[in-house]
Structure 1
Amino acid sequence: MNIGDVAERSGLPAKTIRYYEDIGFIRPARSANGYRQFAQKDLHKLTFVGRARSLGFTIEDCRILLALYEDRGRASADVKRVAQQNLADIDAKIADLQDMRATLSHLVTSCAGDDRPDCPILDTLGGAPQA
């Protein structure tokens, strides 16, 4: 398969596939003219990493998960530990987003939105103390 085929089948952009090659997730063969020739195992790894990334796993987490996937002697506890840490990271991001939303909601509510120049949103962004 060429990079276009693999991109279409994995759902990943060609640029991402080249990046994943650069960081060692895959090592496609090269034809005489230098074109990448992807095997089914490359497509499988790319799909695996794409799914893991869509769930918020970091590149390093993906590296660990790929190694665990390929290790038939793995303990599922090791996989669960990586997933639990990712879940905790997602929960922390959600909490941060909720805090950001509450702050912005308060600012929007505080702003009169009229023809006057006073604006608590700009005052807060500019560093003025909140009332």
Structure 2
Amino acid sequence: MAENVTQPTDASVDEFLASAEPAGRREDAAVLREMLDRVTGVTPVMWGPSIVGYGTYHYRYETGREGDMPVIGFSPRKASMSLYGVNYDGSDDLLAQLGPAKVGVGCVWVGRFAKLDLDVLERLFAEAWRRDGTPA
């Protein structure tokens, strides 16, 4: 079975976020970094080359595939901001209040934060962390 390519690394979160493009994505990433630092109380880690992750959880599928992933996290991609961990059982009402977003199985994609309700976003992350946020 192939190894999961999304593994924690020693890469600098600060350097990664400083290089995010476009500039607006960098600004939103700074807001998100401050929010998640406050919500979790832990230091983020780079997972693979492009995910800023907080905490660790172990997953195991019925197929036997297993691995580790961050409890919550984000990736400032050019087209949109990818949010990880906020699409959990019971998050539908909050996601509906967030603002423009595309909801997938593993993540939620959003555009610029000016169109989002940041209080709702913080509640989504705080609840996800409360449910699963036992830092490893």
Fold similarity call, TM over 0.5: no
Larger strand fraction of residues:
2
Greater RCO structure (CA 8 Å; 6+ sep):
2
Please report the TM-score for the alignment, with normalisation by the length of structure 1. 0.29
Structure 2 length-normalised TM: 0.28
Higher helix share: 1
